[in-house]
């Protein structure tokens, strides 16, 4: 029996089966490559689902975490800690907003955003019957609150009743949003680029139209940047490319580049009239270890010019993906922004392609029902893209 199969057998004995995992046991990583326990190497164009923006084994990142382990890992939010202060300062500088609340995950960031929006509305009129408009085909997480604003009935069916007061509109259809608005609407939540739903960037007119409505009616705009933020689209946050700023932003994934951490960020208007002491909390959120990771990530983004590199490499990446669409009849479209791209597959099961790619030493993901998703580490080069294309072609053509 291989080491891989042995580990898989042991895992199935003790880990709750909520994921249909691929039969791979990953052990090491370096740069944009991963290695399994049987020493097979994989070119990683999934980055742990858009998490490992800096690639694996970044020495400066690792040294910062080792130093923080030696100093202190956890103190609780009953006290201040220096890494949290420094991380918050850098996050605020990057997005130009006002106040940060650090969480343990993206889902928790969504929960905080929902609570903030409801408290803001309650602060205005003292009512508790406010409504939130979310988007069809969206994905915001799997807790009850986050699931309630996730526009996919498949994820929701077994867990009803969910949180009330949520209506759904169609992404990139401003009239469908307008049709859901009433005097109870307190927030509109959407991903700036829909990820799990199939890699759909927001149209500029759509986002600008929603922002205008929110300003006119004092409705809070919540932009979910958990997957599309942190440089992935060629801006530090995707909304910055539209010139449309949110009242609340959620982020996670590449915020910590592997350490579990998220955040929701408020503009000044929202911060002044929403959560107060006692309204929200977390034991682990914002602890020194997680925030040391966040702080170092921002330092390295600047030092290594990560966002600029994404802008430079994107045209080549898009060109190579477009060539695939022109070559293979079962590929109907490329869509995305920056290093968050999708290929739409018609007439072939996406899962089979991903499995073949894995056999050929390439990690890619799916999105929606028929999209190949590419969210590689942001440090990829043209050589990595060329290698990915060759492995993908081999996967397309193998039976």
For residue range 247-286, list pLDDT tens digits in order. Answer: 999 999 999 999 999 999 999 999 999 999 999 999 999 9
Q: Tell me how many degrees the CA angle 228-199-297 measures, rounded to the nearest 5.
A: 20
- Provide mean pLDDT across the span 91-119: 98
In this prediction, residue 2 has a pLDDT band, given cuts at 50, 70 and 90, of confident
What is the CATH code for 3-54+305-397?
A: 3.90.1150.10
Q: Positive or negative CA dihedral for 32, 316, 342, 393? A: negative
Q: Is the pLDDT of residue 1 over 90?
A: no
* CA-to-CA dists, residue 267 to 49, 272, 302, angstroms: 28, 9, 23
The domain limits of the chain are 3-54+305-397, 60-303
Q: Is the pLDDT of residue 24 over 90?
A: yes
Q: Is the pLDDT of residue 65 over 80?
A: yes
> Residue 203: CA atoms inside 13 Å, Cβ hemisphere, count?
8
All residues at 6 or more sequence positions from 133 whose CB lies less than 8 Å from its CB, including other chains: 166, 167, 168, 169, 177, 180, 181, 185, 187, 188, 189
Going by the DSSP 8-state scheme, the letter that residue 186 receives in this structure is E
- Pick left, alpha or beta for residue 47 (phi over 0 → left; psi -120 to 50 → alpha; otherwise beta): left
For residue range 289-328, list pLDDT tens digits in order. Answer: 999 999 999 999 999 999 999 999 999 999 999 999 999 9
In this prediction, residue 90 has a pLDDT band, given cuts at 50, 70 and 90, of very high
Calculate the CA dihedral of residues 333, 336, 211, 116 and round it to 10 degrees.
120
- Give yes or no for a cis peptide into 246 (omega within 30° of 0): no
What is the CATH code for 60-303?
A: 3.40.640.10
For residue range 210-232, list pLDDT tens digits in order. Answer: 999 999 999 999 999 999 999 99
Q: Give the H or E element holding residue 366.
A: strand 365-367
Look-up of token digits 């408009």: 133
Q: Is the pLDDT of residue 361 over 70?
A: yes
In whole angstroms, give the CA distance from residue 263 to residue 193: 18
In whole angstroms, give the CA distance from residue 370 to residue 373: 10
- Provide mean pLDDT across the span 16-31: 96
DSSP one-letter string for 109-123: HHHHHHHHHHHHHHH
What pLDDT, on the 0 to 100 scale, is given for residue 378?
98
Q: Is the pLDDT of residue 163 over 80?
A: yes
Main-chain phi, psi angles of 84, to 5 degrees: -65, -40
What pLDDT, on the 0 to 100 scale, is given for residue 399?
65
- Provide mean pLDDT across the span 70-83: 97
Beta bridge pairs of residue 102: 263
Provide the mean pLDDT of the chain: 97
Going by the DSSP 8-state scheme, the letter that residue 263 receives in this structure is E
What pLDDT, on the 0 to 100 scale, is given for residue 398?
78
In this prediction, residue 134 has a pLDDT band, given cuts at 50, 70 and 90, of very high
Q: Give the H or E element holding residue 372.
A: strand 371-374
């Amino acid at each position: 029996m291989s080491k891989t199969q042995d580990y898989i057998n042991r895992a199935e004995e003790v880990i709750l089966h909520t994921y249909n995992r691929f039969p791979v046991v990953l052990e090491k990583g370096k740069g944009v490559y991963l290695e399994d326990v049987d020493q097979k190497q994989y070119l990683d164009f999934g980055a742990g689902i858009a998490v490992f923006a800096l690639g694996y084994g970044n020495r400066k990142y690792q040294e910062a975490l080792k130093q923080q382990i030696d100093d202190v890992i956890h103190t609780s939010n009953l006290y201040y800690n220096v890494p949290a202060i420094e991380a918050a300062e850098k996050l605020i500088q990057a997005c130009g907003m006002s106040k940060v609340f650090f969480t343990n995950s993206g889902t928790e960031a969504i929960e905080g955003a929902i609570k903030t929006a409801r408290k803001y509305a309650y602060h205005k009129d003292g009512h508790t019957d406010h409504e939130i408009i979310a988007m069809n085909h969206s994905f915001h997480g799997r807790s009850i609150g986050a699931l309630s604003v996730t526009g996919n009935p498949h994820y929701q069916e077994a867990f009803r009743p969910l949180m009330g007061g949520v209506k759904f509109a169609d992404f990139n259809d401003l009239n469908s949003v307008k049709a859901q608005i009433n005097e109870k609407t307190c927030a509109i939540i959407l991903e700036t680029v829909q990820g799990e739903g199939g890699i759909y960037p927001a149209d500029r007119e759509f986002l600008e139209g929603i922002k205008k409505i929110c300003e006119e009616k004092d409705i809070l705009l919540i932009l979910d940047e958990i997957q599309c933020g942190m440089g992935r689209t060629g801006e530090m946050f995707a909304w910055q490319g539209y010139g449309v700023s949110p009242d609340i932003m959620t982020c996670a994934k590449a915020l910590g580049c592997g350490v579990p951490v998220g955040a929701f960020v408020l503009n000044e208007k929202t911060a002044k009239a929403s959560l107060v002491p006692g309204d929200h909390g977390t034991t682990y959120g914002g602890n020194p270890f997680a925030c040391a990771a966040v702080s170092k990530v921002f330092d390295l983004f600047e030092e290594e010019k990560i966002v600029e590199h994404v802008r430079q490499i994107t045209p080549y990446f898009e060109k190579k993906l477009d060539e695939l669409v022109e070559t293979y009849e079962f590929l109907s479209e490329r869509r995305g922004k920056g290093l968050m791209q999708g290929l739409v597959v018609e007439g072939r099961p996406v899962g089979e392609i991903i499995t073949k790619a894995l056999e050929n030493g390439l990690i890619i993901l799916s999105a929606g029902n028929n999209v190949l998703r590419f969210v590689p580490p942001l440090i990829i080069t043209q050589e990595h893209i060329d290698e990915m294309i060759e492995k993908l072609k081999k996967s397309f053509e193998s039976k």
